Amino acid sequence: MSATPDPGEDRRAAAWRIAGAVTDPEIPVLTIADLGVLRDVRVGDGPVEVDITPTYCGCPAMNMIAVEIELALEKAGFGRPKVNTVLQPAWTTDWMSEDGRAKLKDYGIAPPPKGGGRRALFGVDTVPCPQCGSIDTGVIADFGSTACKALWRCNACREPFDYFKCH
Ligand SMILES: [Zn+2]
């Protein structure tokens, strides 16, 4: 570590904050920082470079997210940024922040469990109802309103809800 302050650091933090505030068009309460889609921001002499990793289900939305990032950074005076799509390592729901999980639940979508949620895909795990918290729930359809969501129903409050599937 160098003792001299890095003059690029403040700009990088600002660029990170601005890029990270872009929201997912499918789930507008979540930012790409919440989702863990924003992987890196590099600020140097050239254009600002932003790395994003698509969620496994969000491919059509990713083009829109990339454009939103470019516009947001340009508006903030960062010139014309370069947005890279990084596919490896693949995005996992574990990258979703605690904040993001809480927002998802408030939005009425059951968030994926942290860590190794794959079991939930096979119906081994229980998915608590985002409305009443009951774990007496069951899957209705493997695909909900979008491919990344499954449609579940709570047997306690009888309300259907979306479940953000793990991957
Ligand atoms: Zn319920």
Return the HEC string of the chain.
Answer: CCCCCCCHHHHHHHHHHHHHCCECCCCCCCEHHHHCCEEEEECCCCCCEEEECCCCCCHHHHHHHHHHHHHHHHHCCCCCCEEEECCCCCCCHHHCCHHHHHHHHHCCEECCCCCCCHHHHCCCCCCCCCCCCCCCEEEEECCCCCCCEEEEEECCCCCEEEEECCC
- Mark whether 131 and 66 lie in a shared domain: no
- Mark whether 101 and 158 lie in a shared domain: yes
Cα separation of the two ends of the chain? 36
- Mark whether 36 and 56 lie in a shared domain: yes
| pLDDT < 50 regions, the chain | 1-3, 117-118, 120-124
- Mark whether 69 and 109 lie in a shared domain: no
Domain ranges, residue 126: 96-164
Which residues fall inside 5 Å of ion ligand 1, going by CB? 129, 131-132, 134, 154, 156-157
Report the pLDDT value the prediction gives residue 8, as an integer from 0 to 100: 58
Q: How far away, in angstroms, is 161 Cα from ligand 1 center?
A: 9
Report the pLDDT value the prediction gives residue 66, as an integer from 0 to 100: 93
Q: How far away, in angstroms, is 152 Cα from ligand 1 center?
A: 10
Q: How far away, in angstroms, is 153 Cα from ligand 1 center?
A: 8
Q: How many domains does the chain have?
A: 2
- Average pLDDT over the chain, rounded to an integer: 83
Q: How far away, in angstroms, is 133 Cα from ligand 1 center?
A: 6
Q: How far away, in angstroms, is 53 Cα from ligand 1 center?
A: 33
- Mark whether 74 and 100 lie in a shared domain: no
Report the pLDDT value the prediction gives residue 1, as an integer from 0 to 100: 42
Longest dimension (CA), the chain: 60
